[in-house]
Amino acid sequence: MEIGLVGLGKMGGNMRTRIRNAGHEVIGYDRNPDVADVSSLEDMVAKLTSPRVVWVMVPAGDPTHETITALGDLLSEGDLVIDGGNSRWTEDLRHHEQLSKKGIGFVDCGVSGGVWGLENGYALMSGGAEEHVALAQPIFDALKPEGEFGWVHAGSVGAGHFSKMVHNGIEYALMQAYAEGWELLEKVDMVENVTEVFRSWREGTVIRSWLLDLLVAALDDKPGLEGIRGYADDSGEGRWTVEAGIEHAVATPAITAALYARFVSRQDDSPAMQAVAAMRNQFGGHALHTSAPAGGDVEGKHKEPEQAPEAEASGASGKPKPAES
């Protein structure tokens, strides 16, 4: 089978290689002439035979929309466009309607696997009509991991990217849980080798996962994660997952908290927490800090109290002393 592939960056370039390794012909276009097989979209389309299949692998938003619009003017009835980027599922409905007016099929495909996909295969979640998915099946088979799993026809147009969106939301929550566990283990002196604790979890535990493997690899590369600032971007799909939960009245507290944690990570100081500190000072006379207390503000607050003499603990009258305010 032959396919046109638009976008030959980190993901698209590796996907071209994996498809070719499976014996298919790929004609790739990219604005970077050093990696492109052809000089233009027009040239790429002209080299394909009908029914032509074109996979779009460019950044979500305007770049994807502009590329699909251009392909709509170049392709013919019976051809197929696959959006394999990280588009929002609502954009899939728009593009499907846009192309269907010209008799051009549309399939959305969520892709997971990152830079490891060339070697391990890509998890694929497709949305679209049966006949359109079937037309691209040889390409899905080439890209997915070996074995029974790794590709799914999730449903109608939009289902692929919606599934990938939820996948990424779950990813946010999982990463946040591992990160919080790492910070807590690092906080206590009695755990002397946190990296080895995490490494031991890779086999036989209920929380073993590829993300855990990657965290261990990161800790091996940079012990204590030194030199890495605690600043985390979000690609958009975590936000979309939270918004979809609100729209459908589905509570997503873990995913939402993980998203908000990334927002907080981008602040050198939190205006909201400044306001909280100011209010605590106003109503209770609690101390205001111009810098973080050494060792953290909970240091020593949860130590086991020493056993007090009975008379001191109960007071002269034998009644418990009132708690200090």
* Active-site amino acid positions: 164, 171
Output the CA torsion sign for 272, 277, 282, 288: negative
CA-CA-CA-CA dihedral for 53, 58, 64, 66, to nearest 10 = -90
Give 137's contacts (C-beta < 8 A, 6+ positions apart).
Answer: none
Instruction: Read off the tokens for 143.
Output: 């890209």
Query: Would you call 229 helix, strand, or coil by DSSP?
Result: coil
Q: Which residue has the tokens 């251009």?
A: 70
CA-to-CA dists, residue 258 to 72, 166, 203, 247, 304, angstroms: 39, 14, 26, 19, 32
Spacing of C-alpha 158 from chain mean position: 18
- Give the residue among 121, 117, 127 at the shortest CA–CA distance from 162: 127
Query: Would you call 283 helix, strand, or coil by DSSP?
Result: helix
Question: What values do phi and psi take at 235, rounded to 5?
Answer: -85, -10
